[in-house]
Structure 1
Amino acid sequence: MTFESNLENKVPVGTHRKSKGRPDYPEEYVVRTKPHVDSKVRSSSSSEVGITGIMTQSYEKALLRKIDWRLLPAVGILYLLSFLDRSNVGNARIEGLAEDIDMTGNQYLTGLTLYFVGYVLFEVPCNIILRRTTPRLWLPTLTILWGIVATLMGLVENIAGFFVARFFLGVTESGLFPGVVYYFSMWYKRRERQFRISLFFGAAALAGSFGGILAYGIGHMAGVVWENGWRWIFILEGIATVIIAVAAYWFIYNYPDTAEFLTDEERKFIHNRLTADSDATHDERFTWGNVIKALRDPKCWLYGMSFHTTSLPLYTFSLFLPTIIKDLGFKAAIAQLLTVPPYAFAFLTTLGVATVSERIEKRAIPLIASALFAIIGYIILLSNPDPAGRPGISYLGTFFAAGGIYPATALALSWPAINVSGQTKRAVANAMQISIGNLGAVLGTQLYRANDGPRYIVGHSFALGYLVGNIVVSSILYSLLKSENQRRDQIAPEVKEVGELVDWQGDDDPRWRFKF
């Protein structure tokens, strides 16, 4: 939302005015704030922040960098560990997992599915718990729990143990991503969130790169205690997760009002800039009514479908890439290393597209362009009739697929964090999006069957079709949000100082404008 209304748009409570091309609007939509002062001057005045002179833009940029360095590496590391611990099963598979526990190809796929069943069921409850506790308590605790589960996965001896471990890994990881997206919304202005979410999500691509390198090295531990090295992949990476999670109690912060690394002047400045932008400074009490608001909002379901249509290609790519490359004719160790370059490319495209999206202040157009880029990758993969005979062509396709899937997913995930107003509603909407989205992953885990390789026509075709579906959903959201903004332009002016409104109605308020 751009806050461009001025003093002319703010009239005394209980009066009505008619602006050019705009009809009268009811009293309840009149902005109840103190007389407008230019936002840069107001939020930076020495009387409010306690420093001499007018706060310059350089101060704000320096403060943002300070916040970024405290928040992004911390939560980025946790998400890297999360994605590593969920996707390393693909690396373990080609190191002997299936053979050692007598697991068929279909049973392996069932284990992957059970992860996402646990994930989907517990995302909304986890974000409700976050709303009622604190990030410093909840996020590290979740990380410790899934680190323990990930470690124990290295000790499974049969199919039942594998199934149970995968299900509870999904349960314990389910609260991290939607929780962090909500967490960002309490620190950053709306226009700043999308880029930070993309940076955070970029850790998933880094996890893929690190996972391949680590699996290559750990695979050489075959013969240490166990004949094959797959157990050490789970055990060592799981133990690392637990150790880092314990430290996270000291490097994860709560919200600006209590963060120890901020001065009192910086807290006031952050409070003022958030007040002039969103509801982050509201003292909102948790109510089940606000939970229901999210469930009843069609836009929240569309945000979920936007992720749903990228989730299937995202997770099938991350879970099956080692197998896809191995089936091109490479040995297991070489296949582990060859997974690294596509993920590194995905990390770069994610950051690049996020930067462009932030500068042009558009989401749908870069998202659609990214989906089209990934579609080219799957067309390359499907059009190669002899992947084992011409592995270079299929390997090139994995670069296009990765380079489009990851930035498209990052942009899709940023939409509710930017557009949903009402703290509880936003927390639930973020969790809803991940739950709806990961239903696509549940389907995707059943598509790459062993006897379909090396071409995997069914799996690649579904991924391509889902990306086409993403373009459709993104186009619908673009049209819906744009038309809703136009409708609201005829009702009330865009609001300034959201945080000071005593009659704020969240994103249902006609003074709220959506980003598209």
Structure 2
Amino acid sequence: MTDDSKISAEPCAATEEAVETAGEKDFKGLDDASKFLAGREEITWTEEEERQVLRKIDRWLLPLMFFSGLIVYMDSQAYGSSAIFGMIQDLKLFTVVSTDPLVTETSRYSWGSSITSFGSISSQYLLLLLAQKLPLGKYAGAVILYSGFFAILMVAVKNFAGVMVVRFLYGFQVVGTPVNIIITAMWWKTEEQALRVAIWFAGAPFGALVGQAFSYGAVQMGGAFRDSPWKWIYILIGSTSMAYAIVYILLFPDSPMKGRFLTDRERHIAVLRVRSNNTGIQTRQWKMYQVWDAFTDPQTWLLTIIKFAIAFANTCFANFAGLILTSLGIGTLEAITLLMPASAIMIVSMLLAGYVVRRFNQNRTLVACAFLIPSIVGYSLLWKISRQGRPALLGGLYCSVTFYGAYIQSVSLVSSNVAGHTKKTTVNAIIGTIAYVGAIAGPFAFKGEEAPRAYPTGMITVLIMLVIVFVCFVLLMFHYKRQNRLKEKYLAENPATGTAEEMAFLDLTDRENPHFRYAL
């Protein structure tokens, strides 16, 4: 028997113990759904009833999740927008290399961008462990409130040291994305998740688009900050975030068992319909063996490499796209306008990638590879085309952002293919932590002295990263296929193994549960 098969054999004893424990009404270590279902009779429902429950879940949760992504991304991209409206000069985020001719470098600005990721790295796992213990809806709302507060606080910053402190603490808010991944697995079936992830994650590029519009209007407000128009960007975006956070906290349910917008029967259906995911809903007990499972799972590291490279590319675009355009002699307001189509292409890429997977039942890893190809071509153009070839450069810039369609698939794979609540928390923390290392490294590939040539070193570096992502998706596809074959073989050889229904809410990991099937 292979090592993988040995892992799959473990649930037999675990299931017997867990079922016995549940029978004694001691739910410690089991999924919260087990407690909810205890004493309830099994029910059946029609396809139309399930469609009605799904519609209610979609109508209630997806807008809230979408706008949370929009709001928080508006906060995060404000740093890049503020850079071209005087923030670098006001906060002395540059140093003079020579005075004759005048040459400056912007490593301080790059550090201000990267320090956020240091905050994310230092806080990620502890904040996710806290999320495992607390009501997730309220926790996610508190993250939005925190984000808005630190956006407004940027207005009070006076120098580079202040930027570093505020931006470091601001980095804590990125826990919102892994929390949303966990929420997605709670509410939607595996085959529904890719499209739903695409919808709520599309809030981020919409946030970039809306944030650019906010920035365009904010810098023309004049008034108290006429000479520092970038401050209006933070004031408007930060206050909007804090107001929305209150709405989110009041409306977003903590789990399907507590969805007040559903009837009791609909809550029952909402819980049972996701049982087939074999990923559970929420378990509040931390389990050390699941941490080990996370660290020894090959998919963890392939997904981590993917997220590292995509975070690298994302940070580069968010913080340097505007500077790339202005380095070509384009005015600041025109640069903001020209970035808007790129944000629109991000949105289309995300939604189209999710739609293709759901509508045509397509392999997620192959869809991801398809959306990476235009980005690879785009960065090749940005790297090689002459600086005078403005139409080709803009074409390269707009093609370069289709990789967000692949990013959506990586997020949905984490949601669908990682089971066991402590393992989910750990995998999300590993992926998030290493991804923020990519976000830290990204800006430093863009050397200030290369600005007149539109940063060729940065372009070739991002290009290499996207090729690596392509290879990792191919490897993931073969890994998942192999694991599914091993599970089928194990069940065929061990027909006495517990049923899928018995194991669904026992908080087993994806490798423990022989009934778990990886989504490709």
TM-score scaled by structure 2? 0.85
Judged with a 3 Å threshold, the aligned counterparts in structure 2 of structure 1 residues 361 and 228 are, in CA distance, closer, same or farther, namely same
Give the CA deviation at 1:390. Answer: 2.5
- Name the CA distance, whole Å, in 1 between partners of 2:374 and 2:10: 47
* 3-state DSSP of counterpart to 1:276: helix
1:374-424 per-position Cα deviation (integer Å, ceiling 9, x unaligned):
1011111112112xx33221111111111x221111111221211111122
* 3-state DSSP of counterpart to 2:55: helix
Instruction: Say yes or no: does 1:515 pair with 2:515.
Output: no
- Name the CA distance, whole Å, in 1 between partners of 2:295 and 2:14: 28
Judged with a 3 Å threshold, the aligned counterparts in structure 2 of structure 1 residues 474 and 47 are, in CA distance, closer, same or farther, namely same
1:78 to 41, 62, 68: 68
1:172-223 per-position Cα deviation (integer Å, ceiling 9, x unaligned):
x121000110111111112222221121211111111112111111111245
- Name the CA distance, whole Å, in 2 between partners of 1:414 and 1:344: 21
1:80-131 per-position Cα deviation (integer Å, ceiling 9, x unaligned):
1221111111110100111112221110001111011111222221111111
Whether the aligned pair in 1 keeps the contact of 2:379 and 2:463 (CA below 8 Å) is yes
Instruction: Say yes or no: does 1:275 pair with 2:259.
Output: no
| 1:37 aligned partner | none
* 3-state DSSP of counterpart to 1:492: helix
| 1:101 aligned partner | 91
Q: Which amino acid aligns with 1:490?
A: K
Give the CA deviation at 1:504. Answer: 4.8
Q: Which amino acid aligns with 1:86?
A: S
Instruction: Say yes or no: does 1:189 pair with 2:189.
Output: yes
| 2:350 aligned partner | 350
Give the CA deviation at 1:499. Answer: 4.6
Q: Which amino acid aligns with 2:320?
A: F
Give the CA deviation at 1:282. Answer: 7.1
- Name the CA distance, whole Å, in 1 between partners of 2:126 and 2:504: 30
Instruction: Say yes or no: does 1:368 pair with 2:374.
Output: no
Q: Which amino acid aligns with 1:413?
A: V
Instruction: Say yes or no: does 1:28 pair with 2:32.
Output: no
Q: Which amino acid aligns with 1:163?
A: M
| 1:458 aligned partner | 457
Judged with a 3 Å threshold, the aligned counterparts in structure 2 of structure 1 residues 500 and 332 are, in CA distance, closer, same or farther, namely closer
Judged with a 3 Å threshold, the aligned counterparts in structure 2 of structure 1 residues 491 and 87 are, in CA distance, closer, same or farther, namely same
- Name the CA distance, whole Å, in 2 between partners of 1:30 and 1:315: 43
Instruction: Say yes or no: does 1:66 pair with 2:56.
Output: yes
| 2:423 aligned partner | 425
1:143-170 per-position Cα deviation (integer Å, ceiling 9, x unaligned):
2222111101122111111111111111
Between 1:179-188 and 1:279-288, the stretch displaced more is 279-288
Give the CA deviation at 1:501. Answer: 7.0
Give the CA deviation at 1:316. Answer: 0.9
Give the CA deviation at 1:328. Answer: 2.4
Give the CA deviation at 1:256. Answer: 0.8
Instruction: Say yes or no: does 1:486 pair with 2:490.
Output: no
- Name the CA distance, whole Å, in 1 between partners of 2:505 and 2:442: 45
- Name the CA distance, whole Å, in 2 between partners of 1:264 and 1:26: 35
| 2:28 aligned partner | none
| 2:33 aligned partner | none
Instruction: Say yes or no: does 1:326 pair with 2:326.
Output: yes
Give the CA deviation at 1:335. Answer: 1.0
Whether the aligned pair in 2 keeps the contact of 1:139 and 1:176 (CA below 8 Å) is yes
Whether the aligned pair in 2 keeps the contact of 1:122 and 1:174 (CA below 8 Å) is no
* 3-state DSSP of counterpart to 2:258: coil
Give the CA deviation at 1:507. Answer: 2.7
Judged with a 3 Å threshold, the aligned counterparts in structure 2 of structure 1 residues 376 and 498 are, in CA distance, closer, same or farther, namely farther
Q: Which amino acid aligns with 2:55?
A: R
- Name the CA distance, whole Å, in 2 between partners of 1:113 and 1:282: 33
* 3-state DSSP of counterpart to 1:257: helix
Whether the aligned pair in 2 keeps the contact of 1:219 and 1:233 (CA below 8 Å) is yes
Q: Which amino acid aligns with 1:175?
A: V
Between 1:495-504 and 1:317-326, the stretch displaced more is 495-504
- Aligned runs of 1:401-412 on 2, under 5 Å? 401-402=400-401, 404-412=402-410
- Name the CA distance, whole Å, in 1 between partners of 2:454 and 2:72: 29
Give the CA deviation at 1:271. Answer: 1.9
Give the CA deviation at 1:341. Answer: 0.9
Whether the aligned pair in 1 keeps the contact of 2:279 and 2:416 (CA below 8 Å) is no
1:90 to 80, 83, 101: 80
Whether the aligned pair in 1 keeps the contact of 2:278 and 2:516 (CA below 8 Å) is no
Between 1:496-505 and 1:328-337, the stretch displaced more is 496-505
Q: Which amino acid aligns with 1:235?
A: I
Judged with a 3 Å threshold, the aligned counterparts in structure 2 of structure 1 residues 500 and 216 are, in CA distance, closer, same or farther, namely closer
Judged with a 3 Å threshold, the aligned counterparts in structure 2 of structure 1 residues 472 and 157 are, in CA distance, closer, same or farther, namely same
- Name the CA distance, whole Å, in 2 between partners of 1:502 and 1:290: 13
Judged with a 3 Å threshold, the aligned counterparts in structure 2 of structure 1 residues 182 and 382 are, in CA distance, closer, same or farther, namely same
Instruction: Give the superposed CA RMSD.
Output: 2.5
| 1:145 aligned partner | 146
Give the CA deviation at 1:26. Answer: 9.6
- Aligned runs of 1:167-246 on 2, under 5 Å? 167-171=168-172, 173-222=173-222, 224-246=224-246
1:50-91 per-position Cα deviation (integer Å, ceiling 9, x unaligned):
xxxx74323322221210121111122122122111111111
Whether the aligned pair in 1 keeps the contact of 2:310 and 2:407 (CA below 8 Å) is yes
Judged with a 3 Å threshold, the aligned counterparts in structure 2 of structure 1 residues 215 and 273 are, in CA distance, closer, same or farther, namely same
- Name the CA distance, whole Å, in 2 between partners of 1:467 and 1:167: 27
Whether the aligned pair in 1 keeps the contact of 2:195 and 2:354 (CA below 8 Å) is yes
- Name the CA distance, whole Å, in 2 between partners of 1:82 and 1:479: 35
Judged with a 3 Å threshold, the aligned counterparts in structure 2 of structure 1 residues 506 and 329 are, in CA distance, closer, same or farther, namely same
Whether the aligned pair in 1 keeps the contact of 2:310 and 2:465 (CA below 8 Å) is yes
- Aligned runs of 1:34-45 on 2, under 5 Å? none
- Name the CA distance, whole Å, in 2 between partners of 1:27 and 1:364: 28
* 3-state DSSP of counterpart to 2:219: helix
Between 1:224-233 and 1:348-357, the stretch displaced more is 224-233
Segments ≥4 residues shifted beyond 6 Å? 29-33
Give the CA deviation at 1:27. Answer: 9.7
| 1:158 aligned partner | 159
Instruction: Say yes or no: does 1:496 pair with 2:500.
Output: yes
Give the CA deviation at 1:503. Answer: 9.5
How many residues of Structure 1 are paired with residues of Structure 2 in the alignment?
Answer: 473
1:204-251 per-position Cα deviation (integer Å, ceiling 9, x unaligned):
111111121111111112453441200111122111111111222112
- Name the CA distance, whole Å, in 2 between partners of 1:180 and 1:196: 11
- Name the CA distance, whole Å, in 2 between partners of 1:27 and 1:285: 18
More helix by share: 2
Structure 1 unmatched ranges of 5 or more: 1-24, 34-42
Whether the aligned pair in 2 keeps the contact of 1:126 and 1:174 (CA below 8 Å) is no
Q: Which amino acid aligns with 1:390?
A: G
1:269-308 per-position Cα deviation (integer Å, ceiling 9, x unaligned):
1122122332425766333443343233332222211211
